[in-house]
Amino acid sequence: MVNAALGRNPLQYDDPYSEKIVTIERFILDKQKGYPGATGTLTNILYDIALASKIIASRTTRAGLVEILGSTGRENVQGETVQKLDEYADSILFKLNDHTGRVAVMASEEHPDILAIPEQYETGPYVLLYDPLDGSSNIDVNVSIGTIFAIYRRKSASGRGTLEDCLQRGRDLVAAGYVIYGASTMLVYSTGQGVHGFTLDPSVGEFFLSHPNIRFPAKPKYYSTNQGYERYWTEGVRRYTEWLQGRDGGNTSFSLRYIGSMVADFHRNLLTGGVFYYPADAKDGTLSSGKLRLVYECAPMAFLAEQAGGTASDGANRVLDLQPESLHQRIPFFVGNQELVEKAEEFIAQFG
Ligand code: AHG
Ligand code: MN
Ligand code: MN
Protein backbone atom coordinates (compact mmCIF):
# COMPACT_ATOMS: atom_id res chain seq x y z
CA MET A 1 0.00 0.00 0.00
CA VAL A 2 1.41 3.36 -1.02
CA ASN A 3 0.55 6.47 0.96
CA ALA A 4 -0.21 8.99 -1.79
CA ALA A 5 0.71 11.97 0.36
CA LEU A 6 4.15 10.59 1.09
CA GLY A 7 4.57 8.87 -2.26
CA ARG A 8 6.14 5.85 -0.59
CA ASN A 9 5.28 2.73 1.31
CA PRO A 10 4.45 3.81 4.87
CA LEU A 11 5.76 0.49 6.12
CA GLN A 12 9.24 1.74 5.33
CA TYR A 13 9.03 4.04 8.31
CA ASP A 14 8.61 1.06 10.59
CA ASP A 15 11.38 -0.88 8.97
CA PRO A 16 14.80 0.48 9.93
CA TYR A 17 16.46 -1.93 7.48
CA SER A 18 14.71 -0.57 4.39
CA GLU A 19 16.51 2.79 4.31
CA LYS A 20 19.87 2.75 2.57
CA ILE A 21 22.78 4.27 4.44
CA VAL A 22 25.10 5.47 1.70
CA THR A 23 28.60 6.40 2.76
CA ILE A 24 30.87 8.18 0.33
CA GLU A 25 32.86 4.96 -0.12
CA ARG A 26 29.80 2.94 -1.02
CA PHE A 27 28.62 5.61 -3.44
CA ILE A 28 31.95 6.07 -5.21
CA LEU A 29 32.34 2.30 -5.52
CA ASP A 30 28.81 1.95 -6.92
CA LYS A 31 29.56 4.68 -9.49
CA GLN A 32 32.78 2.94 -10.47
CA LYS A 33 30.69 -0.04 -11.59
CA GLY A 34 29.30 2.22 -14.34
CA TYR A 35 32.77 2.32 -15.94
CA PRO A 36 33.64 -1.18 -17.14
CA GLY A 37 37.38 -1.71 -16.98
CA ALA A 38 37.88 0.89 -14.23
CA THR A 39 40.85 -0.08 -12.09
CA GLY A 40 39.77 1.70 -8.93
CA THR A 41 42.64 4.18 -9.11
CA LEU A 42 40.38 7.22 -9.51
CA THR A 43 38.09 5.86 -6.80
CA ASN A 44 41.05 5.71 -4.44
CA ILE A 45 42.14 9.26 -5.24
CA LEU A 46 38.63 10.43 -4.34
CA TYR A 47 38.87 8.54 -1.02
CA ASP A 48 42.23 10.17 -0.36
CA ILE A 49 40.74 13.60 -1.01
CA ALA A 50 37.80 12.79 1.27
CA LEU A 51 40.25 11.80 4.00
CA ALA A 52 42.31 14.96 3.45
CA SER A 53 39.16 17.05 3.76
CA LYS A 54 38.22 15.38 7.06
CA ILE A 55 41.65 16.24 8.44
CA ILE A 56 41.39 19.81 7.14
CA ALA A 57 37.84 20.11 8.54
CA SER A 58 38.98 19.01 11.96
CA ARG A 59 41.62 21.75 11.90
CA THR A 60 39.42 24.50 10.44
CA THR A 61 36.89 24.05 13.23
CA ARG A 62 39.74 24.67 15.67
CA ALA A 63 40.94 27.83 13.91
CA GLY A 64 41.68 30.36 16.59
CA LEU A 65 42.05 27.68 19.27
CA VAL A 66 45.33 26.46 17.85
CA GLU A 67 47.05 29.69 18.78
CA ILE A 68 45.53 29.64 22.25
CA LEU A 69 46.37 26.00 22.89
CA GLY A 70 49.90 26.24 21.52
CA SER A 71 51.81 27.05 24.71
CA THR A 72 54.92 28.59 23.18
CA GLY A 73 53.85 31.28 20.76
CA ARG A 74 53.98 29.90 17.24
CA GLU A 75 54.73 26.37 18.42
CA ASN A 76 52.10 23.81 19.36
CA VAL A 77 52.39 21.29 22.20
CA GLN A 78 54.28 18.80 20.04
CA GLY A 79 56.85 21.47 19.30
CA GLU A 80 55.70 21.75 15.67
CA THR A 81 55.44 25.16 14.17
CA VAL A 82 51.82 26.28 13.95
CA GLN A 83 51.14 26.67 10.28
CA LYS A 84 48.71 28.95 8.60
CA LEU A 85 45.62 26.96 7.64
CA ASP A 86 46.15 27.28 3.93
CA GLU A 87 49.71 25.96 4.20
CA TYR A 88 48.44 23.18 6.42
CA ALA A 89 45.65 22.19 4.01
CA ASP A 90 48.14 22.33 1.14
CA SER A 91 50.56 19.96 2.83
CA ILE A 92 47.82 17.49 3.87
CA LEU A 93 46.53 17.22 0.31
CA PHE A 94 50.05 16.73 -1.02
CA LYS A 95 51.12 14.20 1.58
CA LEU A 96 48.02 12.04 1.19
CA ASN A 97 48.60 11.79 -2.55
CA ASP A 98 52.37 11.83 -3.06
CA HIS A 99 53.14 8.19 -2.26
CA THR A 100 50.13 6.25 -3.59
CA GLY A 101 51.40 5.56 -7.10
CA ARG A 102 48.15 7.00 -8.45
CA VAL A 103 49.29 10.51 -9.34
CA ALA A 104 51.86 11.65 -11.93
CA VAL A 105 52.12 15.25 -10.78
CA MET A 106 50.25 17.80 -8.67
CA ALA A 107 49.89 21.58 -8.62
CA SER A 108 48.50 23.86 -5.97
CA GLU A 109 47.60 27.51 -5.61
CA GLU A 110 50.23 27.71 -2.89
CA HIS A 111 53.22 26.88 -5.13
CA PRO A 112 54.53 28.75 -8.15
CA ASP A 113 55.59 25.58 -9.98
CA ILE A 114 54.21 22.08 -10.43
CA LEU A 115 54.69 19.65 -7.53
CA ALA A 116 56.69 16.62 -8.57
CA ILE A 117 56.06 13.27 -6.91
CA PRO A 118 59.12 12.59 -4.68
CA GLU A 119 61.74 10.39 -6.34
CA GLN A 120 61.30 7.50 -3.89
CA TYR A 121 57.66 6.98 -4.92
CA GLU A 122 56.04 5.64 -8.08
CA THR A 123 53.98 7.86 -10.33
CA GLY A 124 50.52 7.00 -11.66
CA PRO A 125 48.03 7.86 -14.38
CA TYR A 126 46.33 10.96 -12.92
CA VAL A 127 47.04 14.66 -12.38
CA LEU A 128 45.73 16.40 -9.25
CA LEU A 129 45.30 20.18 -9.09
CA TYR A 130 43.94 22.00 -6.08
CA ASP A 131 43.19 25.19 -4.24
CA PRO A 132 43.75 23.92 -0.70
CA LEU A 133 41.84 26.70 1.02
CA ASP A 134 39.54 28.95 -0.92
CA GLY A 135 38.37 32.14 0.73
CA SER A 136 41.30 32.29 3.15
CA SER A 137 40.49 35.86 4.14
CA ASN A 138 37.42 34.39 5.85
CA ILE A 139 39.35 32.04 8.16
CA ASP A 140 39.98 34.55 10.90
CA VAL A 141 36.37 35.72 11.00
CA ASN A 142 34.73 32.29 11.24
CA VAL A 143 33.08 32.36 7.83
CA SER A 144 32.79 29.40 5.44
CA ILE A 145 35.84 28.40 3.44
CA GLY A 146 36.53 25.56 1.03
CA THR A 147 38.89 23.32 -0.91
CA ILE A 148 38.68 22.86 -4.70
CA PHE A 149 40.14 19.92 -6.63
CA ALA A 150 40.49 18.90 -10.28
CA ILE A 151 41.64 15.54 -11.67
CA TYR A 152 42.87 14.83 -15.21
CA ARG A 153 44.48 11.86 -16.91
CA ARG A 154 48.17 12.47 -17.51
CA LYS A 155 49.24 13.27 -21.07
CA SER A 156 52.92 12.44 -20.69
CA ALA A 157 53.71 8.78 -21.28
CA SER A 158 55.69 7.99 -18.13
CA GLY A 159 58.06 9.30 -15.45
CA ARG A 160 57.42 12.41 -13.35
CA GLY A 161 54.52 14.42 -14.75
CA THR A 162 55.02 17.70 -16.58
CA LEU A 163 53.59 21.21 -16.68
CA GLU A 164 51.76 20.20 -19.85
CA ASP A 165 49.95 17.51 -17.84
CA CYS A 166 48.63 20.30 -15.60
CA LEU A 167 47.59 22.66 -18.41
CA GLN A 168 44.64 20.76 -19.83
CA ARG A 169 41.27 22.04 -20.96
CA GLY A 170 38.46 21.75 -18.43
CA ARG A 171 36.41 19.70 -20.86
CA ASP A 172 38.96 16.90 -20.39
CA LEU A 173 38.43 16.74 -16.63
CA VAL A 174 37.90 13.25 -15.26
CA ALA A 175 36.61 14.47 -11.92
CA ALA A 176 36.27 17.69 -9.98
CA GLY A 177 34.77 18.83 -6.74
CA TYR A 178 34.95 20.98 -3.68
CA VAL A 179 34.67 20.71 0.05
CA ILE A 180 32.87 23.41 1.98
CA TYR A 181 33.76 23.92 5.63
CA GLY A 182 30.63 25.64 6.85
CA ALA A 183 27.97 25.03 9.47
CA SER A 184 28.64 21.46 8.41
CA THR A 185 31.36 20.08 6.15
CA MET A 186 30.22 18.90 2.73
CA LEU A 187 32.04 17.28 -0.14
CA VAL A 188 30.49 17.83 -3.56
CA TYR A 189 31.96 16.12 -6.62
CA SER A 190 31.33 14.87 -10.13
CA THR A 191 33.00 12.28 -12.33
CA GLY A 192 30.82 13.29 -15.26
CA GLN A 193 27.70 11.47 -14.05
CA GLY A 194 25.97 14.35 -12.29
CA VAL A 195 26.89 16.21 -9.13
CA HIS A 196 26.58 14.57 -5.74
CA GLY A 197 26.93 15.99 -2.25
CA PHE A 198 27.94 14.32 1.00
CA THR A 199 27.72 15.71 4.50
CA LEU A 200 30.29 14.88 7.14
CA ASP A 201 29.01 13.47 10.41
CA PRO A 202 31.86 14.61 12.64
CA SER A 203 30.83 12.30 15.47
CA VAL A 204 31.69 9.24 13.37
CA GLY A 205 34.09 10.88 10.91
CA GLU A 206 32.17 9.72 7.84
CA PHE A 207 30.64 11.45 4.82
CA PHE A 208 27.07 10.36 4.04
CA LEU A 209 25.20 10.93 0.80
CA SER A 210 22.88 13.85 1.51
CA HIS A 211 22.41 15.57 -1.88
CA PRO A 212 22.27 13.09 -4.81
CA ASN A 213 22.03 14.49 -8.35
CA ILE A 214 22.17 18.19 -7.57
CA ARG A 215 20.76 20.45 -10.32
CA PHE A 216 20.54 24.23 -10.39
CA PRO A 217 16.90 25.08 -9.59
CA ALA A 218 15.09 26.40 -12.68
CA LYS A 219 14.14 29.66 -10.96
CA PRO A 220 17.32 31.33 -9.69
CA LYS A 221 17.26 33.60 -6.66
CA TYR A 222 20.64 35.21 -6.16
CA TYR A 223 23.49 37.07 -7.79
CA SER A 224 26.86 37.04 -6.06
CA THR A 225 29.66 39.45 -6.79
CA ASN A 226 31.87 41.95 -5.01
CA GLN A 227 29.81 44.98 -5.94
CA GLY A 228 32.18 47.20 -4.00
CA TYR A 229 34.32 47.16 -7.15
CA GLU A 230 31.49 48.15 -9.48
CA ARG A 231 33.11 51.44 -10.47
CA TYR A 232 36.13 49.53 -11.81
CA TRP A 233 34.04 47.23 -14.01
CA THR A 234 33.38 47.52 -17.72
CA GLU A 235 30.12 49.02 -18.91
CA GLY A 236 28.79 45.61 -19.96
CA VAL A 237 29.24 44.16 -16.47
CA ARG A 238 27.73 47.25 -14.84
CA ARG A 239 24.68 47.09 -17.08
CA TYR A 240 24.37 43.35 -16.52
CA THR A 241 24.30 44.00 -12.77
CA GLU A 242 21.58 46.59 -13.23
CA TRP A 243 19.63 44.06 -15.27
CA LEU A 244 19.97 41.55 -12.42
CA GLN A 245 18.56 44.21 -10.11
CA GLY A 246 15.51 44.58 -12.34
CA ARG A 247 16.75 47.77 -13.98
CA ASP A 248 18.11 48.11 -17.55
CA GLY A 249 15.39 45.95 -19.09
CA GLY A 250 15.41 43.26 -16.39
CA ASN A 251 12.00 42.19 -15.20
CA THR A 252 13.03 40.08 -12.22
CA SER A 253 15.15 41.34 -9.42
CA PHE A 254 17.53 38.99 -7.74
CA SER A 255 18.79 39.25 -4.19
CA LEU A 256 22.48 39.92 -3.68
CA ARG A 257 24.43 37.43 -1.58
CA TYR A 258 28.23 37.57 -1.42
CA ILE A 259 30.36 35.63 1.03
CA GLY A 260 33.79 36.16 -0.50
CA SER A 261 34.66 32.45 -0.62
CA MET A 262 33.87 31.28 -4.13
CA VAL A 263 33.19 27.75 -2.88
CA ALA A 264 30.55 28.99 -0.46
CA ASP A 265 29.02 31.41 -2.97
CA PHE A 266 28.94 28.71 -5.65
CA HIS A 267 27.48 26.15 -3.25
CA ARG A 268 24.63 28.41 -2.19
CA ASN A 269 23.83 29.28 -5.80
CA LEU A 270 23.97 25.61 -6.80
CA LEU A 271 21.32 24.76 -4.21
CA THR A 272 19.14 27.85 -4.61
CA GLY A 273 19.85 28.97 -8.18
CA GLY A 274 21.83 32.03 -9.14
CA VAL A 275 24.98 33.42 -10.69
CA PHE A 276 28.41 34.15 -9.24
CA TYR A 277 30.79 36.44 -11.09
CA TYR A 278 34.23 37.88 -10.59
CA PRO A 279 34.75 40.03 -13.68
CA ALA A 280 37.74 41.87 -15.06
CA ASP A 281 38.27 45.19 -13.27
CA ALA A 282 40.49 48.23 -13.51
CA LYS A 283 41.34 48.53 -9.80
CA ASP A 284 45.01 48.85 -10.66
CA GLY A 285 44.54 51.36 -13.44
CA THR A 286 44.36 48.91 -16.36
CA LEU A 287 41.73 46.28 -17.07
CA SER A 288 42.73 43.03 -15.34
CA SER A 289 42.02 39.46 -16.40
CA GLY A 290 39.92 38.94 -13.30
CA LYS A 291 41.05 37.42 -10.02
CA LEU A 292 40.18 33.75 -10.08
CA ARG A 293 42.57 31.16 -11.42
CA LEU A 294 41.53 29.07 -14.42
CA VAL A 295 43.31 25.80 -13.63
CA TYR A 296 42.38 25.03 -10.03
CA GLU A 297 39.46 27.37 -9.33
CA CYS A 298 37.40 28.12 -12.46
CA ALA A 299 37.72 24.93 -14.55
CA PRO A 300 36.63 22.54 -11.76
CA MET A 301 33.71 24.80 -10.78
CA ALA A 302 32.74 25.11 -14.46
CA PHE A 303 32.74 21.31 -14.76
CA LEU A 304 30.44 21.00 -11.74
CA ALA A 305 28.19 23.77 -13.06
CA GLU A 306 27.71 22.04 -16.41
CA GLN A 307 27.14 18.70 -14.71
CA ALA A 308 24.40 20.39 -12.65
CA GLY A 309 22.67 21.89 -15.70
CA GLY A 310 24.35 25.31 -15.50
CA THR A 311 27.29 26.82 -17.32
CA ALA A 312 30.42 28.97 -16.93
CA SER A 313 31.95 31.64 -19.13
CA ASP A 314 34.84 34.10 -19.11
CA GLY A 315 32.39 36.65 -20.51
CA ALA A 316 32.74 35.43 -24.09
CA ASN A 317 33.85 31.79 -24.10
CA ARG A 318 32.85 28.54 -22.43
CA VAL A 319 35.36 28.09 -19.60
CA LEU A 320 35.70 24.34 -20.23
CA ASP A 321 37.02 25.09 -23.75
CA LEU A 322 39.81 27.43 -22.63
CA GLN A 323 43.35 26.15 -23.10
CA PRO A 324 45.36 27.20 -20.01
CA GLU A 325 48.63 28.91 -20.84
CA SER A 326 50.12 29.02 -17.36
CA LEU A 327 49.44 27.45 -13.99
CA HIS A 328 48.19 30.55 -12.22
CA GLN A 329 46.46 32.21 -15.16
CA ARG A 330 43.48 34.34 -14.14
CA ILE A 331 40.25 34.79 -16.06
CA PRO A 332 37.04 36.78 -15.63
CA PHE A 333 34.53 34.22 -14.34
CA PHE A 334 30.74 33.94 -14.59
CA VAL A 335 29.14 30.73 -13.32
CA GLY A 336 25.65 29.52 -12.45
CA ASN A 337 22.25 29.13 -14.08
CA GLN A 338 22.70 29.01 -17.83
CA GLU A 339 20.36 31.86 -18.75
CA LEU A 340 22.03 34.21 -16.27
CA VAL A 341 25.53 33.43 -17.54
CA GLU A 342 24.37 33.85 -21.14
CA LYS A 343 22.83 37.20 -20.23
CA ALA A 344 26.24 38.35 -18.95
CA GLU A 345 27.78 37.34 -22.29
CA GLU A 346 25.09 39.34 -24.14
CA PHE A 347 25.75 42.51 -22.16
CA ILE A 348 29.53 42.15 -22.51
CA ALA A 349 29.26 41.48 -26.27
CA GLN A 350 27.18 44.64 -26.65
CA PHE A 351 28.88 47.07 -24.25
CA GLY A 352 32.28 45.55 -23.50
P1 AHG B 1 41.83 32.25 -2.28
O2 AHG B 1 41.48 32.42 -0.83
O3 AHG B 1 41.99 30.80 -2.67
O4 AHG B 1 42.99 33.08 -2.73
O5 AHG B 1 40.58 32.69 -3.19
C6 AHG B 1 39.87 33.85 -2.80
C7 AHG B 1 38.96 34.23 -3.92
C8 AHG B 1 37.60 33.59 -3.94
O9 AHG B 1 37.35 32.59 -3.05
C10 AHG B 1 36.65 34.70 -3.67
O11 AHG B 1 35.54 34.57 -4.47
C12 AHG B 1 37.44 35.93 -3.98
O13 AHG B 1 38.77 35.61 -3.79
C14 AHG B 1 37.08 37.09 -3.11
O15 AHG B 1 37.75 38.20 -3.55
P16 AHG B 1 37.37 39.69 -3.07
O17 AHG B 1 37.79 39.79 -1.65
O18 AHG B 1 38.16 40.56 -4.00
O19 AHG B 1 35.88 39.85 -3.28
MN1 MN C 1 40.63 30.30 -4.12
MN1 MN D 1 43.37 29.38 -1.76
How far is Cα 265 from Cα 282, in angstroms, rounded to an integer? Answer: 23
pLDDT digits (tens, 9 = 90+) for 169-178: 999 999 999 9
CA of 160 to the centre of ligand 3 (A): 25
Nearest by Cα to 140 from 185, 187, 84: 84
**How much is the average pLDDT of 37-41?**
88
Query: How many percent of the chain have pLDDT more than 70?
Result: 90
Query: How many percent of the chain have pLDDT more than 90?
Result: 79
**Is the CB of residue 90 below 6 angstroms from any atom belonging to ligand 1?**
no
CA of 157 to the centre of ligand 1 (A): 35
* Distance, CA of 346 to chain centre: 26
pLDDT digits (tens, 9 = 90+) for 117-152: 999 999 999 999 999 999 988 888 899 999 999 999
**Is the CB of residue 190 below 6 angstroms from any atom belonging to ligand 1?**
no
CA of 130 to the centre of ligand 3 (A): 9
The full set of domains in the chain, from first to last, is 24-211 (3.30.540.10), 222-351 (3.40.190.80)
For a ligand 1 pocket test, name from 85, 224, 226 the mutation site with the most ligand atoms within 8 angstroms of its C-beta: 226
pLDDT digits (tens, 9 = 90+) for 74-94: 554 555 555 688 899 999 999
CA of 70 to the centre of ligand 1 (A): 29
pTM of the model: 0.93
**Is the CB of residue 136 below 6 angstroms from any atom belonging to ligand 1?**
yes
**How much is the average pLDDT of 42-65?**
91
What is the residue-averaged pLDDT of the chain? 91
CA of 74 to the centre of ligand 2 (A): 25
How far is Cα 110 from Cα 103, in angstroms, rounded to an integer? Answer: 18
**Is the CB of residue 109 below 6 angstroms from any atom belonging to ligand 1?**
yes
Atom of ligand 1 nearest to the CA of 226: 19
- The answer to whether 134 and 148 are in contact (CB under 8 A) is yes
CA of 140 to the centre of ligand 1 (A): 14
Among protein residues, the one with the nearest Cα to ligand 1's atom 3 is 134
**Is the CB of residue 86 below 6 angstroms from any atom belonging to ligand 1?**
no
**Is the CB of residue 288 below 6 angstroms from any atom belonging to ligand 1?**
no
- Is the four-CA dihedral 251, 257, 262, 268 of positive or negative sign? negative
Backbone phi, then psi, for 2, in 5-degree steps? -105, 125
